[in-house]
Amino acid sequence: MAYLSLRKVHKAYASRHGASTTAIESISMDIEQGEFLAILGPSGCGKSTLLQIMAGLVPASGGEVLLGGKPVTAPPPEIVYLFQQYSKSLLPWRTVRNNVALAFEARQPGLPRAEIRSQCDRYLAMVDLAGFADHYPWQLSGGMQQRVAIARALAAQPRVLLLDEPFSAVDALTRIELQSLVLDLWQQQGLTIVLVTHDVEEAVFMADRIAVLSNRPSTVERLETTGLPRPRESMATRALPRFLDLRAELTTHLITRQKAEAAHA
């Protein structure tokens, strides 16, 4: 049995006038323990909604999500959701260290302060922020703030990390650095990661498999295995023929589909 499974997940929203809008038609997937899966699709196709259902943050209208064979009906302690808007997830009145400390305060109340401080500093060192523990989030760059959010997510000691377009708000070079950082931490910690993105290159570079969603109401159109060697290197991996071919194939697929849908609109 797969570690994380989606079984005919469906999501519809009712409007104020009683009409129903379907965001997700029916999605089934199996995600193995330790796998890195990317969910790729256009804006508005329900990617983030699907991720929130997987996290137990939003109820499905139909179907179910299973974690270790058990239904996910509320946020399980094994799953941590990393939001796209990292600046809003950090508390500006808390130092970097004390933002990371939230993970320990929530899961291990009563842990001695000295132990919390030591553990926070350990996780900050993992994301190369050892010298910034006493800074406040507003004193850091966007990329550094996202590193704080990643450190706090890791401090919660998840088995599954759900990433909702976590690099979309940073510049191109910072994005590449954060992608490599997440891949390093994924391998070191033995995590299962699901990444939502609309960036084809990001999906191909980071993932073991890519689930391509259709436009709303979304279904899984394609499920591709990247087949790229690990560890991934920022420039070397992007120069591989398999990387270039898969990036071109998926980009062409998305553009062709978009043109066809526009023609029928």
Domain boundary among 135, 157, 179: 157
Please indicate, yes or no, whether residues 203 and 114 belong to a single structural domain of this protein: no
pLDDT of residue 224: 96
Judge if 163 and 258 occupy the same domain.
yes
pLDDT(41) > 90: no
Greater model confidence, 94 or 13: 94
**What residues make up the domain containing 151?**
90-157
Q: Which of 157, 186, 202 is the last residue of a domain?
A: 157
Global pTM value: 0.93
For residues 61 and 142, state if they share a domain.
Answer: no
pLDDT tens digits along 78-97: 999 988 776 778 999 999 99
pLDDT higher than 90, residue 59: yes
Same domain, 132 and 249: no
Domain membership flag for residue 83: no
Q: Give the E-state strand segments of the chain in sequence order.
A: 4-14, 20-31, 36-40, 62-67, 70-71, 79-82, 160-164, 192-197, 209-213, 220-225
Tell whether 110 is covered by a domain: yes
Query: Domain check: are 68 and 194 in the same one?
Result: yes
Examine the pLDDT at 190 and tell me if it is beyond 90: yes
pLDDT band at 193 (very low <50, low <70, confident <90, very high): very high
Same domain, 235 and 122: no
Which of 35, 89, 26, 51 shows the shortest CA–CA distance to 216? 26
Asked if 62 and 180 sit in the same domain, the reply is yes
What is the pLDDT, as a whole number, of residue 220?
Answer: 94
Total number of domains constituting the chain = 2
Q: Do 183 and 206 touch, CB atoms closer than 8 A?
A: yes
Sign of CA pseudo-dihedral 117, 158, 38, 198: negative
**129 and 165 together in one domain:** no
The share of the chain scoring above pLDDT 70, in percent, equals 99
Among 113, 141, 157, give the residue marking a domain's end.
157
- Judge if 233 and 152 occupy the same domain: no
Same domain, 61 and 172: yes
The verdict on 170 and 238 lying in the same domain is: yes
